[in-house]
Structure 1
Amino acid sequence: MSSRDNIETKYKWNLSDIYKNWNEWDNDLKLLTELIKEIPTFENNITTDSKKFIKLLKLEEKISRLMDKLYLYPYMLRDLNSKDVTAAEKMQTIEHIYAEYSVSSSWITPKILEIPKEIMDKWIEENKELHNHKFNLNELYRLKQHVLDKDKEKLLSYFSQYMGSINEVYDELSISDIKWNEIELSTGEKFKVSNAVYSKILENYKNQEDRKKAFEAHYNSYFINKNTYAAIYRGQILRDVANMKAKNYNSTLEKALEPDNIPTNVYINLINSAKENSQPLKKYLKLRKKYLNISEYHYYDNQIKIVDYKRTFTYEEAKEIVLNSVKPLGKDYYNNLKTAISEGWLDVFETPNKRSGAYSLNIYDVHPYMLLNFNGTLDSVFTLAHELGHTLHSMYSTKNQPYSTHDYTIFVAEVASTFNEKLLLDYMLNTTTDKNERIALIEEAIGNIVGTYYLQSLFANYEYEAYKLVENGTPITSETLDNIMSKLFKEYFGDELIIDDLQKIVWARIPHFFNSPYYVYQYATSFSASSKLYDKIFNSSESEKEKYQENYLELLKSGGNDFPINQLKKAGVNLEDKENFKSVALEMEKLIILLEKELNK
């Protein structure tokens, strides 16, 4: 009996909500291939016939919805067991079909853009079926300069599957083939230091030497393949630079931000502001060094609590705490979250060959799914709240938006998740009677700022500098990447942090760098936005509170029906204003003062 079989069904995904078996999957695959064959038949008649055009859009949506299910079913099975051979084969099958679809449909956007904008506007006005597509169609015209002619788009589409293989190589190296090193701690316990075990040791073991052993064992699992990781990363950047040039963008940053109409100055303002206002971060490290009573402060000292706080939470306790914490957002939000933590939506515990970390993904025609590696720590309780924020966002979006605009952008994705974390923090601070837990919670709040704002800004800075080097034709190696990371840690964390040689290779163990370039900055921008929204809702008059709360829920309901910058403005936050980032540093200053006060009681 496998370790997954030993875990109760209620703590595992029920993937039969997507497909009951591979036979159902195969039947949908056959349907998909038949639908794809219809796509070329529209090529010569959509520019003059609005009815044919509408029929094409409906066909595209049907294909897209089918593909969501067909792709995510094996994808999720692989995340549960990276050695699932059948799932791996099915993944390759659907990826191949998607690549063929990209080729057969590559003519669509260039062809649509042959329709004069005023004609398209008239079609949208006259045909109710096009109303839900208005935003996306207008987007095509806005981004027209980055769309190539039919033949060039078709040529590029041939490379889509090949381009994605770089990410697969990273995943295989970091999940399937990685060898976790074993250590023996001062307690006599022996561990293989996987991602989840590493976090648990850093959070719970007071002996600095134990944390050091865990750090060295864990990072050496990456260090042994550092040149391979660097080659993968260089290949990825070269791919993205080639794409940027082919699509007529001035930089990879512009290419990453322009599809969502996000000004590049938002990104630059963020990383500059985080560096300019990093004094609270340096102050916090100095305070921790003093109260932890250590002579040298290393990166692996970041997660241990100052006080002796060893409470562990069962998953059932964590669920109840998170559920109670969201009550201030109203009955509807509470009931939706209750549904989200029902059986079959979450895969809770770490098992062999399961993907590390946590995420929430949504299937429009099914429901959201959440992956966790719950280990009973306070941090894992916050991770549960975080992922449920994404899930609630998806639930509201799916309920209130048509398929064409249900998918919210990454830029606003982390607002709901970090907002949930703030709700959890306040709830636990208000309900605890344990002084040590109160201190640990304040540290958790500061840690969220460190990890979600400062560290993600640092990582965004790293990506910006690494991509700039390749854009300018400068070669990069593992040493180049190490040096960028070392320099940035020095700038952000200051002299209080001892930068170990192994610490420099942190870039190799961040999946987002390889799977989602220019993603991590949005953790920091979203954190800033959610802080501002939280302040407006809970520190306003009663009448204003109701208005801001309604605005926040409208943000969750809006999916992708507008540019994310505009969506946040409607909710009450303007991220083009640099002051929003500076306010995070001020929030951290206040929390440090509160922490010192608690420690000195």
Structure 2
Amino acid sequence: MQFFEHKESASRPTTRIRDEIDDRFKWRVEDIYEDWSAWEKDLQSVRGLMDEFVAYKGKLNEGPEVLVKTHQLSDRIGMTAYKLYRFPQLQFDVDQRNNAIQSRLQQVQNLFAEYGTRTAWFTPELLSLGSEKVMGWVASTPELKVYEFPIAETFRAQEHVLDEAGEQLLSFGSRFRSTPGDVYRALSTADVKYNTITLANGEETTVSPGTYRNLLETNRNQDDRRKAFEAMYTIFDDKKNTFASIYNAICQRDWMSAQSRNYSGTAEAALDSDNVPVSVLETLIETAREGAEPLRRYHKLRKKFLKLDKYYLYDSFVPLVEKDEEYPYDNVSEMIVEAMAPLGSEYQEKLAESLEGGWIDVYENDGKRSGAYSAGVYGVHPYMLLNYTDTLNDVFTLVHELGHTLHTVYSHEHQPFATSSYTIFVAEVASTTNEALLLDYLKARRHEPLDRAILLQHAISEIVGTFYSQALFADYELKAHRLVESGAPITAEVLSNLYDEVQNSFYGDAVDQDPLYKLTWARIPHFFNSPFYVYQYATCFASSAQIIKGLLNEDPTEREATRARYLELLSSGGNNHPMEQLKKAGVDLNDAGTVRAVVDQLNTLVDELEAALEALNA
């Protein structure tokens, strides 16, 4: 099956000036709005819809017809909100120095914060009608059936909903919830001046986030890696007290919100929205920490093979073995689509469409935010941000984000708006499943010992980065929030010592200590933007590992059944609790064995890598 026409490969741009990068490597925001005047028109129209919704205050008891109208109005407002927010947000993310676009973004945020305050009455008024009456209306009113799960969820969380006055009071603070994260992004990205270093070959380079990662992954000179590490981390060291103050504000905000809604802790509050017990988080952390020996074996193997007297974490990214091979963006599309064959031709066709142009912002440019993500826009298409540098890791990052993108495509196609948003808890299953399929595809086609070692190394790196590192981060994050819950002070020293303690509990004596690594807490954006997010990378990795077993099973019946269950998961959006959705897909995260299996998998892979390296040496 042919998905792409042949086209000439283009090299990665050498410029960081956005206007000089070919438009086909940039996302097309015009698919959302043609221009700012169209955006302004929708901004005005949504104000009218908001007024119309607010006018129903005190009328919910009039019957199911009113409930239908309010929910349909909420859908229209929500769908418009996606577009109103994404249009400036996407443009701001590719140039975070643009104050004019930032002000438009804040305009939208303020509007919906005001709307949240004006509609604080809705949930308390709905709850006052009683579950029996409202769910009876849902059962007897066809137009309400699409809202059955979200309405039932409102009643499930009833004990954590305040009265109208309380909800309104909390809503006044909604516009400030994002402020600590906004300050962090400005301090760490928009206002940062990256350091310049001189490499061993005499070349000067500015250590931006993309360049930093590339240096650690490609530069075989340990002193150059040390310079890059110090150049990046001294940025955070110089402002560590400010970063600590920001993080304290985030933890205090989360604790205030948890207490005001009658939760016993911040983790309980964060996980309850998905109906996930905190024991799942705690079991993950404990199992990963207790199963850290394969992780330590891997790093000791690296130190020995690299012949390093001292081995630091900044040495953990450089390949043990490598080929002089780059992966230009234009060259990897067909390979990626072919690798997804176990998911069926329909999935492959949708994937090919997402790669054709307009959905993805590929390369780094001045002012662009670091990292990668996929962001949905209901009724349009998802958008993906990359900072692609032609490495194998970049290929896997692309595949990872494509997993999110296809999850969004399936969800938006099969779910009404009310249940179209899937939870973070299942989101990373789609991304890590894609990565696993690409890895299997490459392993099946590369049989030389060198290629085998390269792919084993990547497979191990994925477990280390997606499972162990995220469990470590989750451990730190949980402990930091519980410090705040206990009334303990939060300072740069406290956070650095806490991170150091957690890191040592995972790595032990397998790595040498550099004092700057204590500051890692300050450079993990998820800590500041999405508390209690990172653990889900690890649980999702365990989930996808189980799904992959079925997709690659020798029995064609089992393969087909797994694929059907998996595509149903992608199409389910937010129509049920994520733990239940995963059970339907064949994964039970209540079973600690699901998590321990990843530890066993790493142990086996380290054995295989050690044997492969010995064969190469021989």
Same fold at TM > 0.5: yes
Post-superposition offset of 1:539: 2.8
What's the counterpart of residue 48 of structure 2? 34
Mean CA deviation greater in 361-370 or 309-318: 309-318
What's the counterpart of residue 400 of structure 1? 414
What's the counterpart of residue 152 of structure 1? 166
Q: Counterparts of 1:84-483 in structure 2 under 5 Å? A: 84-432=98-446, 434-483=448-497
- Equivalent pair of 2:402/2:431 in contact (CA under 8 Å): yes
1:537 paired with 2:551, answer: yes
Amino acid at match of 1:16: E
Deviations 1:387-433 (A, max 9, x none): 00000111111111111111000000000100000111111112235
Post-superposition offset of 1:189: 1.6
1: CA distance between counterparts of 2:58 and 2:613? 73
Post-superposition offset of 1:549: 1.4
1:573 paired with 2:568, answer: no
- Equivalent pair of 2:547/2:587 in contact (CA under 8 Å): yes
- Per the alignment, in what secondary structure is the counterpart of residue 58 of structure 1? helix
2: CA distance between counterparts of 1:93 and 1:594? 55
- Equivalent pair of 1:204/1:310 in contact (CA under 8 Å): no
Q: Counterparts of 1:32-111 in structure 2 under 5 Å? A: 32-111=46-125
- Per the alignment, in what secondary structure is the counterpart of residue 59 of structure 1? helix
Post-superposition offset of 1:272: 0.2
- Equivalent pair of 1:183/1:193 in contact (CA under 8 Å): yes
Post-superposition offset of 1:321: 2.0
Scaled by the length of structure 2, the TM-score of the pair is 0.96
1: CA distance between counterparts of 2:528 and 2:577? 26
2: CA distance between counterparts of 1:509 and 1:333? 36
Amino acid at match of 2:46: L
Deviations 1:472-496 (A, max 9, x none): 0000111111111111111111102
Q: From 25, 33, 41, give the equivalent of 2:39.
A: 25
- Per the alignment, in what secondary structure is the counterpart of residue 255 of structure 1? helix
- Per the alignment, in what secondary structure is the counterpart of residue 492 of structure 1? helix
- Per the alignment, in what secondary structure is the counterpart of residue 55 of structure 1? helix
Q: Counterparts of 1:481-492 in structure 2 under 5 Å? A: 481-492=495-506
Amino acid at match of 1:526: C
Deviations 1:353-384 (A, max 9, x none): 00100000111111000000000011000000
1: CA distance between counterparts of 2:459 and 2:204? 31
What's the counterpart of residue 569 of structure 2? 555
What's the counterpart of residue 586 of structure 1? 600
Deviations 1:85-135 (A, max 9, x none): 221110111111111101111100001101121111221122111111000
Corresponding residue pairs, total = 601
Deviations 1:206-239 (A, max 9, x none): 1111100100001111111100000000011111
1:505 paired with 2:509, answer: no
2: CA distance between counterparts of 1:390 and 1:432? 27
- Equivalent pair of 1:405/1:561 in contact (CA under 8 Å): yes
2: CA distance between counterparts of 1:162 and 1:333? 40
- Per the alignment, in what secondary structure is the counterpart of residue 178 of structure 2? helix
Amino acid at match of 1:472: S
Post-superposition offset of 1:434: 4.9
Deviations 1:512-561 (A, max 9, x none): 00000000000000000000111122135221121111111111111111
Q: From 528, 532, 552, give the equivalent of 1:518.
A: 532
Post-superposition offset of 1:439: 1.4
Amino acid at match of 2:289: K
Deviations 1:286-322 (A, max 9, x none): 1111111111110101110111433111101122221
Give the gaps of 5 or more residues in structure 1: none
2: CA distance between counterparts of 1:173 and 1:304? 29
What's the counterpart of residue 13 of structure 1? 27
2: CA distance between counterparts of 1:483 and 1:111? 47
Post-superposition offset of 1:438: 2.6
- Equivalent pair of 1:412/1:526 in contact (CA under 8 Å): yes
Q: Identity, % of aligned pairs?
A: 42
- Per the alignment, in what secondary structure is the counterpart of residue 55 of structure 2? helix
Cα RMSD of the aligned pairs, angstroms, is 1.1
- Equivalent pair of 1:47/1:114 in contact (CA under 8 Å): no
Post-superposition offset of 1:200: 0.4
Mean CA deviation greater in 458-467 or 185-194: 185-194
Give the gaps of 5 or more residues in structure 2: 1-14
Q: 1:107 to 1:432 in 2, by over 3 A?
A: same
1: CA distance between counterparts of 2:54 and 2:43? 19
Post-superposition offset of 1:26: 0.4
- Equivalent pair of 1:39/1:104 in contact (CA under 8 Å): no
- Equivalent pair of 1:360/1:391 in contact (CA under 8 Å): yes
Post-superposition offset of 1:594: 1.4
- Per the alignment, in what secondary structure is the counterpart of residue 319 of structure 2? coil
Q: 1:271 to 1:334 in 2, by over 3 A?
A: same
- Per the alignment, in what secondary structure is the counterpart of residue 463 of structure 1? helix
- Per the alignment, in what secondary structure is the counterpart of residue 407 of structure 1? coil
Post-superposition offset of 1:2: 7.9
2: CA distance between counterparts of 1:503 and 1:192? 20
Q: 1:253 to 1:567 in 2, by over 3 A?
A: same
Amino acid at match of 1:399: E
- Per the alignment, in what secondary structure is the counterpart of residue 191 of structure 1? strand
Post-superposition offset of 1:163: 2.4
Post-superposition offset of 1:498: 1.1
Post-superposition offset of 1:84: 1.5
